[in-house]
Chains A and B, each alone.
Chain A
Amino acid sequence: MINHRLLLLLFILLSSCKTNINKYNLEKIQSEDIKIAPEYYTGKPDLPSPALTDDGRELVLLKIYNNRYTWFDATAENGEPFDYKKGLYGKGNQLMADEEDFPFLARTGLHSEEELINTKIITGRSVSQITVDGRPWGSSGVGFMADDETIMSVILADNRIVKSLGLTHPDLARPLFHIWNISREFENYSIDTTTGERMQMEAILYNGNEIKLEISGSRGWQESIFNDEMLGSGHIYISRELNKEEQEFLNQNYGNLSEDKYEELNNMLFDIHTGEMVFFYINRYGFYEGHTEYRIDPVAVALIFGLRSIEDIHNAAGGDLYKYFTSPFTENPE
C-alpha cells in the first residue's frame, strides 16, 4: 500500500517536471531554429507566444508586414538605468519591488492587507502627501487618482481584484514590460537584411491574441508621485479586438446596457491608454493608478493579454464589469 502511494507520488512529481510551463507561466521553446528579428518567417509559425528559451530569455512573436512573423527578445529584467532627465534610456529596474515599504509584496507578488493597514509612508513620503500630489491638479492636471480616492484605497482595491483573478502584480506587469521593451528596441532590429527595408510591426501575438500597440511622445515629462527615479514621457495605447466568444459573452451578460454604456464597457475592456511609469509602479508598489485616463486596469490587462478569460474577469468583478470599471475606490485600509 505504502509502495503504491510512493509510486503515485513519484509519478506525479515526474509528470510535473516534464511540463513546459515555468514560474512565469511562459511556455518553453527550443532556442535552435527560431528566427529572431531581423530574421523572419513567411507565414505564422505554430509556436506559443510569449515563450521562454532554454537560456531564460522571454520571446514574443510579432506580426510584421507581408504576412511575416519574427521573434523578439522582450525579456522583462533589471537593466541599465532609465532616466529621461539624465538622458539614460536603459531598461531600468523593471522587476524591482519596494521591499522596504512592502516586504510582503516583494516576497509574494501581492500585498498583505495587514501590511497595507500599517503603511503610512511610501518611499519616505507620507501617503497623505502622495495622495495630495496624485489627485487631479496636483503634480499633474489629469492626476494619478480620482479626487475621492487615496493612494492606499487604490492599492487596496487593486490588490483585491488581482488576488481574486488568481494572479500577482508581477504577472500583470510582465506582459506590459514585454510590449514596452519591444516598442523601445524594435527599431534597432527591424531592417530587413535582404531588402534593406524597415519592417513595420502590425501586431504583437500574445496568448492567441493579436495586440495593437501605438506610442507617441509628449513635450517634457511627468514627475513621479513617489520618491523614486521614475519619469513619464509617452502616451501608450494598447488594444485588441474582441473575439467571437467574448462578443457572445458580453451580449449575453451586458446586452441590457444602453448603447453608450455598452460601447464604454467595450473600450474599458479592450483599450488601455497609459504612460510607462505605471508599468514600474505595478511591480514596485502594486499601483495601477486610480480612476484617471492613464489607469491600467488589472482586469483589462488580464483580458487583453489572454491571462484570463472574459468569464473569469466577469466573476472576479462580482458579476458586474460596468459597475466595477466605473466605481471609484474609496475604502482605505485602516
Chain B
Amino acid sequence: MKTICKYFVLILLMILSARASSQDHNEKIDSLVNLLTKAGREWNDYSIPLIEIGEPAIPALVEAVKDRSLSQWNRRISAMTLNSIHSPLWVQPALEILFDPTEDPVLRNQVTAGLKGFDLAEVKDRLWYLFNEESNEYYKSNLANLLMTADTSLAYKAFKELYNTCDGHVQRGALMNIVMIRPGESTSWFLKGIQLDDWMTSNLAMDSLVTSDYFDADDLISVYNERTTGEGVKWRIVYILGNRDEPESIPLLIEALQDESWLVHTEAAVGLCNFEPEQVVPEMTKLKNDSRNYVRNNSRWVIHKIK
C-alpha cells in the first residue's frame, strides 16, 4: 500500500512538473511571438529561437500572420519564420493566404517558400489559375515551382511560358526546371538556350551541353553552319565542342580556327588543345603558313601547346 502511494505521488509529481514545463515553454513561445510582432531590424533575435522551437511555435505564429491589425512587415517576418520551420502544419494556413485575393500581394508571394516540397495536388487547379492571373514574374516563378509538386504537366507549361517571356534568373530557373521535368528533351532545350541573348540562361545551356549525357555533335554543327548564326552562338558551340571529348568535332574546330571572328578562332585554338596531338597537329601544320596572320599564329600556338 505504501509503495503504491509512493508511486502515485511520484507520477502525480511528474505530471505536475511536465505541465509546469509545458506552461513555461508556451510562455516562452508567446513571449517570442509577441516580440516578433513588434520587431524591427532585430527580428532575427526572436525568429531564430522560434525556428529552433519548431512546430510547437506554429499556432502562435499563424495567429500573428493572420492578424491584419499588425503591420505588413511584422506579418511578413512571422510568415518567414513559419517558412523556415517548414512544417506540414503551416501548409493549410499558407494556402488560405495564398488564395485570398484580399491579402497583401507580397505576403501571398512570401508564403510560397513555406509550401515548397509539399504535395499540393489537391489545389493544382487553383495554383494554375493563380499563375495565369498574376503578372509579376518572380511571383509566377514561385507558383510554377509549387506546381512541380502539384502537377508536373502544368508545371511544364508554366515554366515554358516563363522561359519564353522572361530573362535573367527567372528564365534560367525555368530552363533548369523544364529539363528536370523532361530530361529526354534536354538537348533540344539547351540547344535553344545557347541561342538566346540572355547571358545567364545561355551560359547554363552551354555548361549543361558540355557535361550532358544526351549529346549529339551533329545538332550543334548544324546550328553552327546556318547562315544566320551569329558570332556569340558560334563561340558557344565552339566552346562546347572544345570541352567535350568528341573527335568528330575536330573538323569543325579546325574550320572555326579560321573564322574571322576573334572570339570564335581564339576559342577554337584553346579547344583544339584538349585533343590528342596526333588528331590535331597534322592539320595545324598545314595552316602554319596560311596567308592570314591570326590563322598562322593560332595554329602555331596550338602546336606549341599541344606537344
Residues of B197-216 contacting chain A, CB below 8 A: 197, 199
Instruction: Give complex CA distance A121, B232 in Å.
Output: 18
Asked if B139 is an interface residue, CB under 8 A from chain A, the answer is no
Instruction: Give complex CA distance A131, B269 in Å.
Output: 15
Asked if A118 is an interface residue, CB under 8 A from chain B, the answer is yes
Contact indicator B266/A127 (Cβ below 8 Å): yes
Asked if B8 is an interface residue, CB under 8 A from chain A, the answer is no
Asked if A139 is an interface residue, CB under 8 A from chain B, the answer is yes
Contact indicator A121/B294 (Cβ below 8 Å): no
Q: Is the interface of B mostly helix, strand, loop or mixed?
A: helix
Residues of B249-273 contacting chain A, CB below 8 A: 262-264, 266-267, 269-270
Contact indicator B269/A132 (Cβ below 8 Å): no
Instruction: Give complex CA distance A118, B296 in Å.
Output: 12
Contact indicator B298/A334 (Cβ below 8 Å): yes
Chain B residue contacts of A126, Cβ below 8 A: 239, 266-267, 270
Query: What's the minimum C-beta distance from B82 to chain A, rounded to whole angstroms?
Result: 26
Chain A residue contacts of B293, Cβ below 8 A: 334
Asked if A128 is an interface residue, CB under 8 A from chain B, the answer is yes
Asked if B31 is an interface residue, CB under 8 A from chain A, the answer is no
A132-B235, A334-B293 known; A120+B270 contact, CB < 8 A: yes
Asked if A117 is an interface residue, CB under 8 A from chain B, the answer is yes
A139-B199, A332-B262, A334-B294 known; A120+B239 contact, CB < 8 A: no
For B202, the closest partner residue in chain A by CB is A132
Instruction: Give complex CA distance A137, B269 in Å.
Output: 26
Instruction: Give complex CA distance A126, B302 in Å.
Output: 13
Asked if A138 is an interface residue, CB under 8 A from chain B, the answer is yes
Contact indicator B267/A137 (Cβ below 8 Å): no
Contact indicator B239/A334 (Cβ below 8 Å): no
The listed residue (B199, B232, B235, B266) touching A120 by CB distance below 8 A is: B266
A126-B239, A132-B232, A334-B293 known; A120+B301 contact, CB < 8 A: yes
A117-B297, A129-B267 known; A137+B239 contact, CB < 8 A: no
Chain A residue contacts of B264, Cβ below 8 A: 128
For A139, the closest partner residue in chain B by CB is B199
The listed residue (B239, B297, B301, B304) touching A128 by CB distance below 8 A is: B239
- Per-residue contact bits, chain A 133-164, to B (CB 8 Å; 1 contact, 0 not): 10001110000000000100000000000000
- Per-residue contact bits, chain A 170-193, to B (CB 8 Å; 1 contact, 0 not): 000000000000000000000000
Contact indicator B297/A132 (Cβ below 8 Å): no
Instruction: Give complex CA distance A330, B165 in Å.
Output: 34
Instruction: Give complex CA distance A57, B297 in Å.
Output: 45
Chain A residue contacts of B270, Cβ below 8 A: 120-121, 126, 128
Contact indicator A128/B232 (Cβ below 8 Å): no
27 contacts between A and B (CB under 8 A): A117-B297, A118-B301, A118-B304, A120-B269, A120-B270, A120-B298, A120-B301, A126-B266, A126-B267, A127-B266, A128-B235, A128-B239, A128-B262, A128-B267, A128-B270, A131-B263, A132-B232, A132-B263, A133-B199, A137-B197, A137-B199, A138-B199, A139-B199, A332-B262, A334-B294, A334-B297, A334-B298
